[in-house]
């Protein structure tokens, strides 16, 4: 089977190479560093798995959209913000229940707005079977995580939970890819409408 890359795919691949080269340059220049499971930036720390998941969902949406229009880029960015935002809200309030964290309602208000925007974009779109399956994996893995004590790993904490890390990666990845597929794949009724418009010359 031959793999044929279109203009969009080539642009995405070039973008990945450029991003990777820039990140490697920052590592060499010691602007950022990798410490255990985290990438340490001057202004923040991010899990390596979170960055990889965000990049994968962004790229996946662009591949599925088959174009690099503003709408496709908007969907790709929204896929990252929605999945990471929803995951952060769910994770934090579960952690707050287990660890007694402050609720931070006002801090999460703006993030909730982006999550609601992301939900609005797909509420009328029928998800694919794979999306439904992955949404289910997200819910089940979170319930399993809670049921096993919701152990997780902190930056600077010497203790390490293997099960907590596995469930973190699975749940986060499942939600991100599920939503990327959901928003990235055009539903059949939208395609039919577009075909009708083209056929009528509108």
Tell me the pLDDT tens digit for each residue of 25-64.
988 888 899 988 999 988 888 999 999 999 999 999 998 9
pLDDT-above-90 percentage for the chain: 58
With a cut of 80, say whether residue 190 has pLDDT above it.
no
Nearest one of 166, 169, 163 to 148, comparing CA atoms: 163
Side-chain-side CA neighbours of residue 21 (13 Å): 6
The pLDDT mean for the chain works out to 86
pLDDT band at 5 (very low <50, low <70, confident <90, very high): low
Which stretches of 66-156 are DSSP H helices? Answer: 70-99, 105-122, 129-147
pLDDT tens digits for 145-164?
Answer: 999 999 999 887 888 999 99
Distance of CA 185 to the CA centre of its chain: 15
d(CA 61, CA 44): 26
Sign of CA dihedral 41, 47, 49, 55: negative
Q: If pLDDT is split at 50, 70 and 90, which confidence band does 130 have?
A: very high
Instruction: Please report the pLDDT score of residue 192 as a whole number.
Output: 46
Residue with the larger pLDDT of the pair 201 and 106? 106
| pLDDT at site 121 | 95
Contact 152, 99 (CB under 8 A): no
The domain limits of the chain are 7-193
Which pLDDT does position 53 carry in this prediction?
Answer: 96
């Amino acid at each position: 089977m031959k793999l044929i890359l279109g203009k969009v795919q080539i642009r995405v691949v070039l973008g990945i190479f450029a991003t990777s080269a820039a990140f490697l340059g920052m590592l060499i220049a010691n602007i950022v560093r990798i410490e255990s499971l985290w990438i340490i930036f001057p202004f923040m720390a991010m899990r390596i798995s979170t960055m990889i998941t965000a990049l994968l969902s962004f790229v996946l949406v662009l591949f599925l959209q088959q174009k690099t229009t503003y709408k496709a880029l908007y969907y790709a960015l929204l896929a990252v913000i929605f999945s990471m935002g929803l995951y952060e809200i769910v994770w934090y309030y579960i952690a707050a229940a287990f660890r007694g964290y402050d609720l931070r309602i006002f801090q999460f208000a703006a993030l909730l707005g982006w999550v609601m925007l992301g939900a609005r974009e797909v509420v009328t779109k029928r998800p694919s079977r794979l999306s439904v399956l992955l949404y289910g994996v997200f819910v089940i893995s979170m319930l399993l995580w809670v049921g096993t004590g919701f152990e997780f790993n902190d930056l600077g904490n010497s203790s390490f939970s293997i099960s907590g890390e596995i469930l973190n990666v699975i749940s986060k990845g499942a939600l991100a890819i599920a939503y990327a597929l959901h928003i990235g794949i055009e539903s059949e009724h939208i395609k039919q409408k577009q075909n009708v418009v083209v056929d009528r010359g509108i």
